[in-house]
Amino acid sequence: MRLERGILLFVAILALASCKPPRRAEGRDPSRGPSTLTIKGSDTMVMLAQRQAEAFMEKNPGVSVQVTGGGSGTGIAALINGTTEIATASRPMKASEKAQVEERRGRPAVEHAVALDGIAIYVHESNPVPHLTLDQIKRIYEGRIRDWSEVGGSPGRITLYSRENSSGTYAYFKEAVLEDEDFDPRTQPLPGTAAVVNAIARDPRGIGFGGIAYGGGVRALPVKKDESSEAVVPSLETVTAGTYPISRKLFMYTAGEPTGLAAQFLEFALSPEGQQLAEKAGYYPLRPTNRE
Amino acid sequence: MIEAKRYRKSTIAFATLSGSGVVVILGCLALILVDIFVNGLPQLSWEFLTQPPRDGMTAGGIFPAIFGTVLLVLLMTIAVVPVGVITAVFLHEYARPDAWYARLIRGAVYNLAGIPSIVFGLFGLGFFIQFVGRGIDSWFFGGEVVWGQPALIWASLTLAVLTLPVVIVATEEALRTVPRENREAALALGCTPFEALWKVTLPQAAPGILTGAILAVSRGAGETAPILFTGAAYFLPYLPTHPTDQFMHLGYHVYVMATQSPDVEATKPILYGTVLVLLLVTAALNGLAVWLRYRLRRTNP
Amino acid sequence: MEGVPSESLREGFGGLETASSRAVAATPDPAGSRLRRRKAIDRAARWIITLIASTAIAAVALIFLFLAREAFPILTSAAVHEEVTLGKMIFPQPWREGEPAYYAWQPVSKVPKYSLLPLLVGTFKVALIALIFAVPVAVLGAVFTSELAPRRVREIVKPAVELLAGIPSVVLGFFVLMVLATHLQDLFGLQYRLNTIVAGIGLGLTIVPVIFTLSEDALTAVPQRYREAAFALGASRTRTAWSVVLPAASPGIFAAIVLGFGRAMGETMIVLMASGNAAILSWDPTLPVRTVPATIAAEMGEVVVGGPHWTVLFVLGVLLLLLTIGFNGLSGWYVRRLRQRLGGTS
């Protein structure tokens, strides 16, 4: 009986508590002062920003940097509404979004390249194909080349893997490699690089692309820019030197030129130390020429 | 004679066939559990349960995901249990079973139980975040986004709507086990109907109500689709402390690690460990509810 | 005793009220005011309880309202119409110049393509596979458990089914993705590791408990005297189960199957992880498949809030909602028919 009374009390307390949902925001003070910086956006860049934020906080005691994901759209929306100082995006900002930033914040959105993302072409480790040209990759993904024997491999139907159409990697690959043509409808979009690697490790006829990842069972295929050029494997040297043909920049956006803590953080992100952290997160440092 | 033989043959064939249905169910269950236990058990350790992820989720533990899941279902419970219990009380104690309003509510509960979880996610995004959240922002914060974005509170309220039918159905079942005479005795002693409910019926139905709450928690802890865009975060360096914070979640963590991690081989043990923890949490809660219900049925035949 | 108490209680309340009003007349004032207060509380409680009980109705209404609100610009907004209209979603479009009109789902493209058909076909296809796997297993299992199995077996099977029902779908999706898909590919020598069959079996695992439980309910609802009559005519247990109980319970079992189909169409995490997600317009079960819920889950996170793509995803949500409500209603109709049939023959 006492147990049951206790349960009843518990239920009653829950009932009381539910009557007054906390509707006042004391925690998120908009005027937090200059010692806090918020970075919000792309899930794929959370790890990068987080590593840089940790090192930055260590170097600047008393400063707090909050990193959250939620997607590029969420980050950009937060930038538009002024709830984040820096938005990370794995896709370039759309013109309509830039216009919204200008309208709501009174300042134009400023783009900061913070790292390079090399897009590797993955095949199964047993795949004998020595290399592919950009044009071959394009035709494979358009569905015009359907069999491995057409590109020097052992006969077998090619299975296509890509990233989800909402991802920045998808948009970049489509623009840079497919020259804005559409993917073959049989392409299987997967939600992340790990999913691509996992799929290809189990599929000897598969081909996929994604950021740099480590995993057994797959190899990154050397890529030739055209018939006459050399086949290049994605690596620190080739991506930063620009000889590997498929790489893109990753961006952080601010509303207007960054000031205060945001400026300090971006400066740190572009410093040699910050760039080294980008490498640890699976990306490549920017070429010296990219550092403005 | 031949007739009888054929008859027996077809009988045996049907018995074997239907028995094989059970074998398939048990076999699938065993396969899943064995795979997850064998691969996940070596990973479980105190560090794994109490540390945050490190090195891009290739090392460390899953404490923030456990914490976020617990906080999420706690808020959800606070919201769903009173509403669910009161709805069941109305349906069973107050309304005539054939009254149009009661039938309308029953229809709504039945449909609510069948709506896909991803639709609840869209609802949370469209109603709680875009309408309620943005509404609060424009009324109290001059349009600055505080509440109008994915957050713990919105995810838990979304889950509360999703688990409402679970609580209602379980509570009604519990109310049915309370003998009618007990209510009548209370009324005869001069209680008002509400007093009879509050002092007699509800306390006696409490274990059954608790069962419903536990079932709802178990369901809520396992759902991933509704929180995808209402509040779950891929990675958070801090623990959520405010209703407008985002949170990490065991189910979402499994999804993220299975699809996003940069180092597949290094993540695999952690992945299996996380799956095992999620499975243990939901299975333990489910088991507790089933056991409570079993005990309840035995004591109140 | 179901349903009865409230009726008779109400009469009880009536009697009580007259008794207490007599008491008011007889006692001095302070006690009277206390009684009035208690009665006021009672009245207030009744109102509050009625009000809060309406939450379920409000929830369903709000779900419809707010999904429709976000999907509505598909009909009215000029900005959305620049990219997509309802007609473009339904009918085949000449997406590329010089090529015949066709269906395609490619929302991120120079010309965004939002044909519904590949997604709808995919959703039905994968749910059908789930049924083909789950129905025999679950219905036969339910017949065996409720009609033939000894009690000890029943006490193992029923908790096992509840355990299966309690496994989160993301865990099932994980298992199908990491383990089952490879085995199935090796077994059948399929071109695609992630395909409709793999995802369908994963979905089947989630609806087996639904179909099993509801079928078992339908079977136990068949009156005992049906079985006794069959036994008296010399039929064995198995024969009785097959020829008497199963036909009598068939509307209930059909309701279970319809409900299971609705569930399978709406399930998200398993198809998101294990179906390959390619939007191909084909009924071939060995190809990858993209379903409506998986599309919403995969694309919602990164779209521009309020943009055409966002609107289209909400249109998909409305469609999914209507489809599942339809299947729920159909299932409920069959359950009522079962009750009528079993009630009518008595």
What's the CATH code of the domain at B80? 1.10.3720.10
Residue whose C-alpha is closest to residue C237's, from B287, A156, B18? B18
**Domain assignment present for B2:** no
Q: Are B82 and C48 in contact (CB under 8 A)?
A: no
> Does residue C25 carry a pLDDT above 80?
no
DSSP H or E segment with residue A93 = none
**Which residues from C are below 8 Å from A94, CB to CB?**
304
Residues B78, A14: C-beta atoms closer than 8 Å: yes
Mean pLDDT along residues A211-240: 84
Report yes or no on C123 lying in a domain. yes
Partners of residue C183 in chain B, C-beta under 8 Å: none
Q: What mean pLDDT do residues A7-11 have?
A: 57
Confidence of residue A9 (pLDDT cuts 50, 70, 90): low
Would you say residue B209 lies in a domain? yes
Asked if A37-116+249-290 and A120-233 have one fold, the answer is yes
Contacts of A148 (CB under 8 A, 6+ apart): A127, A129, A154, A155, A156, A157, A158, A205
In order of A43, A66, B53, B256, B270, the CA distances from B261 in angstroms are 11, 21, 12, 7, 11
Residue of chain C whose Cα is closest to the Cα of B95: C6
pLDDT band for B300, please (50, 70, 90 cuts): low
Domain boundaries, chain A: 37-116+249-290, 120-233
Q: Give CA torsion, residues A5, A6, A9, A10, to 10 deg.
A: -140
Quick count: other Cβ atoms within 10 Å of Cβ B135? 12
B77 and A211 in contact by Cβ < 8 A? no
Both tokens assigned to A75? 């980050």
Q: Which residue has the tokens 């509704």?
A: B226
Residue C90 lies in a domain: no
Strands A36-41 and A86-89: parallel
The answer, for C308 touching chain A at a CB cutoff of 8 Å, is: no
Domain coverage including residue B217: 30-47+58-299
pLDDT of residue C344: 54
Interface membership of C119 toward A (CB under 8 Å): no
CA distance B16 to chain A (A): 37
- Is residue C140 situated within a structural domain? yes
* DSSP bridge pairs for A255: A109
Which of A3, A9, A11, A90 is the best residue to mutate to test the B interface, defined by the most B CB atoms within 10 Å of its own CB? A11
Q: What angle do CA A252, A257, A259 make, to 5 degrees?
A: 95
Nearest chain A alpha carbon to B210: A7
Query: CA-CA distance, C291 to C120, in Å (whole number)?
Result: 7
User: What is the predicted pLDDT for the residue at A175?
Assistant: 87
| Residue A127 to residue A166: CA distance in whole angstroms | 29
CA dihedral B196, B201, B206, B208 (to 10 degrees): -160
* Predicted pLDDT of residue A11: 56
Chain C hits for B126, CB-CB cut-off 8 Å, are 66-67, 69-70, 314
Residue A123 has pLDDT above 80, yes or no: yes
Q: Which DSSP category does A150 fall into?
A: G
pLDDT score, position A4: 55
Q: Residue B258 and residue A66: Cβ atoms within 8 Å?
A: no
Instruction: State the CB neighbour count (10 A cutoff) for residue A111.
Output: 14
C184 and C44 part of one domain: no
* pLDDT bucket at C13, cuts 50 / 70 / 90: very low
Answer yes or no: do B246 and A78 touch at CB < 8 A: no
Q: What are the two backbone dihedrals, phi and then psi, of residue A129, each rounded to the nearest 5 degrees? A: -60, 125
pLDDT band at B276 (very low <50, low <70, confident <90, very high): very high
Assess whether pLDDT exceeds 70 at residue C28.
Answer: no
For residue B209, the chain A residues in CB contact (below 8 A) are 7, 11
- C-alpha of C252 from chain center: 15
- The C-alpha atoms of residue B168 and residue A177 are separated, in whole angstroms, by 55
Q: What is the pTM of this model?
A: 0.85
- The total of structural domains in chain B comes to 1
Q: What integer is the mean pLDDT of B101-115?
A: 92
Tell me, what's the ipTM? 0.89
Asked if residue C78 is part of any domain, the answer here is no
Mean pLDDT of chain B: 87
Predicted confidence band of residue B66 (pLDDT cuts 50, 70, 90): very high
In which element (H, E) is residue A118 found? strand A109-118
Phi, psi at B247, each rounded to 5°: -150, 160
Please tell me which residue, A24 or A58, carries the higher pLDDT value: A58
The tokens describing B130, both together, are 């875009």
Look-up of token digits 């000029």: C78
Which residue has 């086949």 as its token pair?
A231
B237 contacts in chain A (CB < 8 Å): 50, 53-54, 66-67
Residue C76 lies in a domain: no
Please state the domain count of chain C: 2
Is C281 within 8 Å of A185 when comparing Cβ atoms? yes
Sheet holding A223-224, edge to edge: A132-133, A223-224, A231-232
Q: Are residues C181 and C256 in the same domain?
A: yes
Facing residue for B79 by CB, picked from A18, A30, A70: A18
Cα C52 to Cα A123: distance, rounded to the nearest angstrom: 58
**SS3 state at B60:** strand
- pLDDT for residue B84: 95
Q: Is the pLDDT of residue B133 over 70?
A: yes
For the cut 50, the answer to whether the pLDDT of residue C197 exceeds it is yes
Give Cβ neighbours of residue A106 (< 8 Å, ≥ 6 apart). none
Give A72 to chain C, closest Cα distance, Å: 6
User: Taking CB atoms and an 8 Å cutoff, what residues of chain C touch B20?
Assistant: 140
Q: How confident is the model at residue C320 (pLDDT cuts 50, 70, 90)?
A: very high
Facing B194 at nearest CB: one of C42, C166, C324: C42
pLDDT at residue C245, as a whole number: 92
Q: Which residues contact A285 (CB under 8 A, 6 or more apart)?
A: A115, A116, A236, A240, A275, A276, A278, A279
Whether residue B24 lies inside any domain: the answer is no
Nearest to B35 among C62, C69, C175 (CB): C175
CATH annotation of A37-116+249-290: 3.40.190.10
Would you say residue B251 lies in a domain? Answer: yes
Cα–Cα nearest to B183, from B172, B198, B169: B198
Residue with tokens 């996992």: A198
Contact assessment for residue B32 and residue C172, using Cβ atoms and an 8 Å cutoff:
yes
Question: Do the domain assignments include residue C37?
Answer: yes
Asked whether residue B139 is domain-assigned, the answer is: yes
Given the DSSP bridges, would you call strands A218-220 and A120-124 parallel, antiparallel or unpaired?
antiparallel
The answer to whether residues C160 and C239 belong to one domain is yes
Answer whether residue C158 is part of any domain.
Answer: yes
State the architecture of A120-233 in CATH terms.
Answer: 3-Layer(aba) Sandwich (3.40)
* Residue whose C-alpha is closest to residue C154's, from C224, C201, C220, C211: C220
Residue whose token pair is 């005869």: B188
Amino acid identity of residue C139, one-letter, is V
Question: Residue C147 sits in a domain of what CATH number?
Answer: 1.10.3720.10
Helix (H), strand (E) at residue C285: none
Provide the domain limits for residue C295: 114-344
Say yes or no to pLDDT of C3 above 70: no
Does residue C74 fall inside a structural domain?
no
pLDDT at B4 over 80: no
- pLDDT band per the 50, 70, 90 thresholds, residue B61: confident
A23 contacts in chain B (CB < 8 Å): 136
